[in-house]
Amino acid sequence: MRVNFAPEARLPEKRPISILLAAPRGFCAGVDRAIQIVEQAIRKWGAPVYVRHEIVHNRHVVERLEALGAVFVEELDECPLDRPVIFSAHGVPKSVPAEARQREMIYVDATCPLVSKVHVEAERHFNAGREIVLIGHAGHPEVIGTMGQLPAGAITLLETVEDAENFQPGDPSKLSFVTQTTLSVDDTAEMVAVLQRRFPGIAAPHKEDICYATTNRQDAVKAMAEQADLVLVIGSPKSSNSVRLVEVAKRAGARDGQLVASADDVDWAWFVDVRTVGVTAGASAPEDLVEDLIAAIAARFDANVEEVRVTKEDVVFKLPRALVE
């Protein structure tokens, strides 16, 4: 019996697509330090090491550290007294280390130094007799930690421009503000402008509280957004700086912006009519997730990658002395 074979079918040509890769992106110095603290604590004291709250807001990072021997909990009473506990990069209220000391626990504070700077500023304003306004998002661990540095009522949280317009201080002549470190630069500037218009004597931070990494990642997204039909941001919905990157991309001219935890979360229907896609990652997202996303795009399209760099970061934070001795 003769079998007729069809001519070899040609695979359809891949549609060309340009990938604009934002730089800087991904891990910042504070996140890198926090992860190293957990790793070094496990080396020093062995597993398990307990971590109060997710060390950073990224499930992939958390799962990798769990595999090494980290146990993530929400409160200190979930930790045995004979094992070390680490406080997350977002910072904690003063009551948390006080409780750890009272229980005679070994603890290491992985609070980002730039968050600690905001804590110091708030305390300085309080000691100077000023009422303090905190610009931030209710319920975020960093906001909870900052407000927990001082007695209840010492800090008023403002979340929107409307809040800033309606705020009534006890004494406008003794007023100050601090901000969460991971906010939208533009949104925060708008709120600060309202406060300074209404209260010209309001005391401001010596140096802007929004951290260098948040600013740089937003600047990189702005630099590529106008050229991008779609911007993909790798990060967690719980990550404030990652969520802000999506908002910044859309505001800066991208036709669409989406937050994805990894390449597995991409809906390829988003790519209909997309000729240029921007890619970035929040400050708690590891670079291997970026590489996986680019590989997934390249598997489906004829991809050309171009880096869009706005600055070079060289910030490094030292580990706590207890871990390097």
> For 185-242, what is each residue's pLDDT tens digit?
999 999 999 999 999 999 999 888 999 999 999 999 999 999 999 999 999 999 999 9
Q: Report the share of the chain in percent with pLDDT over 90.
A: 93
* Mean pLDDT on 14-39: 97
CA distance 70 to 236: 20
How many residues in total does the chain contain? 325
Active site residue 142: yes
Amino acid at 211: C
CATH number of 29-112: 3.40.50.11270
CB-based contact 158:202 (threshold 8 Å): no
Which 8-state DSSP code applies to residue 203? B
Beta strand 85-87 with 107-109 is parallel
- 118: how many CB neighbours lie within 10 A of its CB? 25
Class (C level, CATH) for 113-198? alpha beta
Structure-derived torsion over alpha carbons of residues 40, 42, 46, 49, reported in degrees to the nearest 10: 140
Mean pLDDT, residues 275-285: 97
Q: CA–CA separation, 8 vs 71, rounded Å?
A: 55
Asked if 127 and 151 touch (Cβ cutoff 8 Å), the reply is no
Map tokens 């949280």 to a residue. Answer: 157
**CATH architecture of structural domain 16-27+212-309:** 3-Layer(aba) Sandwich (3.40)
- State both tokens at 173: 């002549």
Residue the block writes with tokens 């505001």: 251
Catalytic residue among 54, 121, 131, 142: 142
pLDDT digits (tens, 9 = 90+) for 161-195: 999 999 999 999 999 999 999 999 999 999 999 99
Give the sign of the dihedral formed by CA 235, CA 237, CA 238, CA 240. Answer: positive
Tell me the average pLDDT across 77-96: 96
Which residue in the block uniquely carries the two structure tokens 């996140």? Answer: 31
49 near 322, Cβ under 8 Å? no
Pairing outcome for strands 49-52 and 70-73: parallel
pLDDT reading at 325 higher than 80 = no
DSSP lists the bridge partners of residue 49 as 70
How many CA within 13 A on the CB side of residue 160? 3
Q: Where in the chain is the domain with CATH 3.40.1010.20?
A: 16-27+212-309, 113-198
In the chain, where does the domain assigned CATH 3.40.50.11270 lie? 29-112
Quote the pLDDT of residue 2: 46
- pLDDT of 206 reads 83
pTM attached to this predicted model? 0.91
Say what the pLDDT of residue 5 is: 43
Q: How far apart are CA 226 and CA 142, in angstroms?
A: 31
Eight-state DSSP code of residue 8:
P
Q: Which of 92, 87, 98 is nearest to 33 (CA)?
A: 87
